[in-house]
Amino acid sequence: MYRKITDGFYWLQECPTNNTEFVDQVNPPKWYKGNEEVHIPQSIYLLVDEYSLLFDTFSPASTDEVLDEVKEILGERDLDYLVLSHTDVPHAGNTKAILDTYPGAQLIAPKYGTGHELYRLNSSKLVGNGDKLELGKFKIKFHEAPFVDSAIHLWMTEETTNTLFTVDWHGFPHNGSDCMLFADELDYPISEDQLMQFHGRVMFWLEYVKPEKVNEEIDHILAEHSPEQVAPAHGHFIRQDAAAELEKMKSVVELISEDGRIGAFG
Query: In the chain, what are the domains?
Result: 2-190+230-240 (3.60.15.10)
CA distance 157 to 258: 32
pLDDT of residue 181: 97
pLDDT of residue 266: 34
Taking the alpha carbons of 91, 132, 2, 244 in that order, is the dihedral positive or negative?
positive
CA distance 256 to 196: 7
pLDDT of residue 265: 35
HSE-CB of 142 using CA atoms within 13 angstroms: 22
Query: How far are the Cα atoms of 3, 32, 70, 112, 219 from residue 163, in angstroms, in the given order?
Result: 16, 28, 20, 22, 17
CA distance 255 to 266: 11
pTM value > 0.75: yes
CA distance 249 to 198: 11
Instruction: Encode the chain (266 residues) as per-residue pLDDT tens digits.
Output: 899 999 999 999 999 877 777 788 788 888 998 888 999 999 999 999 999 999 999 999 999 999 999 999 999 999 999 999 999 999 999 999 999 999 999 999 999 988 898 888 988 999 999 999 999 999 999 999 999 888 899 999 999 999 999 999 999 999 999 999 999 999 999 999 899 989 988 888 888 989 999 999 999 999 999 999 999 999 999 999 999 999 999 999 998 988 765 643 33
pLDDT of residue 16: 83
pLDDT of residue 260: 64
Residue 92 phi/psi, 5° resolution? -125, 5
